[in-house]
Amino acid sequence: MQDTFDRFTAANALDALRLGALNRELADCWLSLWQDGNLPTRAAINPRTLVKFLPGLAIMDIHAGGRARFRIAGKAFRAAFGFDPSSHDMLALTPPDQRKARFERCMGIVSGCVSTGIRTTPGGPTPGFISQDVMLPLGGVAEDGARSWLFHASWRPGANDWAQSLPQGALGMVDTYTAHSLR
């Protein structure tokens, strides 16, 4: 049996996240795919309708056994990591002391939370803004028990950004994280 959620509550949760324009537009697309209180499934995600988001878009899967995997990852993720993280375990790419907290956040998302994170550059008197991420749960459970979500980062690689290598601080948890339940 699939969980059902209230679309009005979801719209209010998205408002509370204070998403930037690009992330809000993606969230509105996601919300438009709901059917009778059911979250959109991975099958409902049509890349042709999400072209402007593809560079920063990833579809993630989480398994109860402790893996959180990039199913697919856009070119911003490839540029940031210096390789295509598709099929890689996100938790294995996370500093060991942060893996448990990241896994718990991922489980919260697939259990019915929308969330956002702000990533900033470390050091200096005033941290610099890198990206706002948004995470949106997808409905359904795969045959192997995996549950999925959309992950979108507003960061797009520029000519001088990260030179194909993510700074160590950016591999870990975001600097600010907010989640709101869809219930």
pLDDT at 173 over 80: no
User: What proportion of the chain, given as a percentage, has pLDDT over 70?
Assistant: 85
Q: Would you state the pLDDT for residue 159? A: 46
Measured over the CA atoms of residue 21, residue 123, residue 58 and residue 44, the dihedral's sign is: negative
Range of lowest pLDDT (4-18, 116-130, 146-160): 116-130
C-alpha closest to that of 88 among 106, 69, 74, 72:
69
Q: How far apart are CA 127 and CA 11, in angstroms?
A: 31
Query: Residue 162 and residue 80: Cα distance in Å, rounded?
Result: 7
Q: Are 68 and 149 in contact (CB under 8 A)?
A: no
Model's pTM, two decimal places? 0.88
Nearest by Cα to 82 from 154, 22, 152, 168: 168
| Residues 115-151: tens digit of each pLDDT | 999 877 666 555 566 788 999 999 999 988 999 999 9
Q: What pLDDT, on the 0 to 100 scale, is given for residue 168? A: 47
Average pLDDT over residues 8-26: 95
**Radius of gyration over every alpha carbon of the chain, rounded to an integer in angstroms:** 16
37 pLDDT exceeds 70?
Answer: yes
Task: Give the pLDDT score at 128.
Answer: 65
User: Going from the N-terminus, what domains does the chain have, and what CATH number goes with each?
Assistant: 7-181 (3.30.450.20)
Q: d(Cα 182, Cα 10) in Å, to the nearest integer?
A: 5
On the 0-12 / 13-18 / 19+ scale of CB atoms within 10 A, 146 is buried
